[in-house]
Amino acid sequence: MPAPVDVSAVIKQSFPQLVERASADHPAFSAPAGDVPAVLAFLRDSHGYDLLTDLTAIDNGEDATPRFTVVYHVFSTTAHTYLRLTADCSDDRKPSIASVTSLWPGADWHEREVFDMFGITFDGHPDMRRILMWEGYPYHPLRKEFPLAGIETPLPDIEVSEETGTKVLPAPMAGGPFVTSSGEINMAKAEPRAKDESWNEKKEKPL
């Protein structure tokens, strides 16, 4: 079934608790965390949004409440339209939200990545493990308090750590983070370099 032209009206009629969200491109709604599976199931089964194109999250800042927002992008392969749904996690310290792996099996790895990077657990996920960082890594790297350079931890393998006498060390930022100027005609100027000097190892990251 193709998606109706004005899906916003239909969705607001069926789910009055949804709040429209500012968006530069596609219709976007914010839903209470508990309603996400129901809203997505409704969109998938009744309005042709049959493809989950992306599932990610936002860290709104260390002191922000609600701190974590999970973002769902769904696409209708018949009407060729996108829709964005967001949901705030209620708990800022131990954020969690219902898994949508029962709707789209493909959500499995997306949710594992969000768990790995942000530490948001997905209730009902069949295999809630890290996917990018190794098992036992103590941090969630995309959280705002985590520095880009990293934090000192042991290597994933204790034996190798002992043999080589090395560990995971913060990367030398050397004036970074480095930024490229895409679209620059002068290739020498387009090279990645430390254009943003707002913080590096000589200058603390501003709070």
- Is 156 near another protein (CB under 8 A)? yes
The span from the CA of 26 to the CA of 23, in Å, is 6
Between CA 88 and CA 110 the distance in angstroms is 17
150 is an interface residue for another protein by CB under 8 A: yes
Q: Does 169 bind another protein (CB under 8 A)?
A: yes
Query: Rule CB under 8 A: is residue 171 a binding residue for another protein?
Result: yes
Complex with another protein: residue 24 or 129, whichever CB lies closer: 129
Cα within 13 Å of Cα(130), Cβ side: 15
The answer to the question of residue 178 lying near another protein (CB under 8 A) is yes
Nearer CB in complex with another protein: 15/109? 109
**Judged by CB, which is closer to another protein: 42, or 139?**
139
**Which segment (27-35, 92-100, 101-109, 166-174) binds another protein by CB under 8 A?**
166-174
The answer to the question of residue 133 lying near another protein (CB under 8 A) is yes
Strand partners, 193: 179
Distance between CA atoms of 60 and 58, rounded to whole angstroms?
6
Contact pick of 80, 166, 179, 195 for another protein (by CB under 8 A): 166
| Degrees, nearest 5: CA angle 149-150-155 | 130
**51-59 and 28-32 beta bridge pairing:** unpaired
